[in-house]
Structure 1
Amino acid sequence: MASKWAVDYATLGPETVPKYKIANPTGFDANALQSSKSAAKSSRQNVGQDDHNEVALKVKRAWDVAMSPAKNIPMNAIMIYMTGNGVQIFSVMITAMLFIQPVKAIMSLKQTFERFETPGAAARAQPGADLLLPKLTFIAIHVLTMLLGVYKINAMGLLPTTTSDWLAFLPPKHVLEYSAL
């Protein structure tokens, strides 16, 4: 028994098919229907572009790693503001952190950027990413963090910046005349 709402598509001829075009659904990719041969040809043509894109992606990721320490500078500035200018254990620990962490990061520079460099024989065949500027930026940001530590030490009064701080190294005054009283 056939339902009264059923449509038999075999009986529909070209004259009964609607004349308007239905739009493709959202997310439909007509290129996904290509044959495997044409896909293989296009992938072989894009090999050179993929290598270039890979180098550009490595440089972009290297810049991301180089700029990541800059996110810590505002936090460190707030921390040194909150600890005050007195010489307490907490402010000394914060100040030591401002020197120790950047030095450790600069010492591990090679390991940090090693994953973005092109290895061995592939480096000679294909020039890799130029990582000099990201490395210099990474170092500069860490030096900026150390300068923040120098500012904190100066604010605490621990830097010898006045002449009274150097009195131990000045020779005593020699009296040129004596008066008899």
Structure 2
Amino acid sequence: MSTWSIDYASITSTATKSINPIGFEQSALQSRYGMKSARPKNQDHNDVEMKIKRAWDVATGPAKSIPMNAFMIYMSGNGVQIFSVMITVMLFITPIKAIMSLNQTFERFETKGSKQPGADLMISKLTFIGLHIITICLGIYKVNAMGLLPTTTSDWLAFLPHKHVLEYASI
């Protein structure tokens, strides 16, 4: 007999009791073949908590792009070139589109028609909007750094009234 062979006849019936691997659920196997329900009745699986967690993941998603956008506006410089203008336009358009599609983004996390109370998504929606407003503020900063915002008095000289000359000197 080789050292790597197993004699199955010597194994007793008490040792053949199967031990389930980690993460294996007998109830999942039984439900697959229609023997029992997949979930025991005493186990209350709370989908609302999972939906709230996923909603917060979506709400804090824009925070990951803020440092990248800040680095891009730093590297593009303050001149008015096509690359810096495209980055600046992106800083305005992307958050506005995301804010406009807010309800479509969060509608998959709303609980409708279930026995459990619905998840309150108002704070996560406000976080989502706030992070996009920070991105818009980065765009405003970039436009100001490029010198395109009229913030000095010399930018408004065309709207000042002309001085009326009261006397003329004839020389």
Q: With structure 2 as the length reference, what TM-score do the two structures score?
A: 0.77
- The residue number in structure 1 matching 2:70 is 77
Task: For 1:177 and 1:56, locate their aligned partners in 2 and report how far apart those are by CA, in whole Å.
Answer: 81
Cα distance in 2 for partners of 1:28, 1:112 equals 36
Q: What is the percent sequence identity of the aligned residues?
A: 63
Give per-residue Cα distances to partners, 1:111-158, cap 9 Å, x unaligned.
100100012xx15x4321000000000000000000000000000000
Which of these residues, 168, 172, 176, is aligned with residue 158 of structure 2?
Answer: 168
Deviation string 1:81-129 (CA, Å, 9 cap, x unpaired) is 010000000000000000000000001101100100012xx15x43210
Structure 2 residue runs of 5 or longer lacking an equivalent are 1-6, 13-18, 31-35
Q: Which residue of 2 aligns with 1:88?
A: 81
Q: Distance in 2 between matches of 1:60 and 1:147?
A: 27
Alignment of 1:33-52 (within 5 A): 43-46=40-43, 49-50=44-45
Q: Which runs of 4+ in 1 moved over 6 A?
A: none
Q: CA RMSD in A?
A: 3.2
Aligned residues between the structures: 154
Q: Give the equivalent residue in structure 1 for 2:54.
A: 61
What are the within-5 Å matches in structure 2 for residues 8-157 of structure 1? 27=21, 43-46=40-43, 49-50=44-45, 53-119=46-112, 122=113, 125-157=115-147
Which ranges in structure 1 are unaligned for 5 or more consecutive residues?
Answer: 1-5, 13-24
Structure 1 or 2: larger helix share? Answer: 1
CA distance in 1, matches of 2:119, 2:22: 36
Instruction: Return the alpha-carbon distance in structure 2 between the equivalents of residues 81 and 70 of structure 1.
Output: 18
Q: TM-score, normalised by structure 1?
A: 0.73
d(CA) in 1 for partners of 2:109 and 2:26? 32
Query: Which structure has the larger Rg over C-alpha atoms?
Result: 1
| 2: CA distance, partners of 1:94 / 1:43 | 54
Closer, same or farther: CA 126–26 of 1 in aligned 2, 3 Å: closer
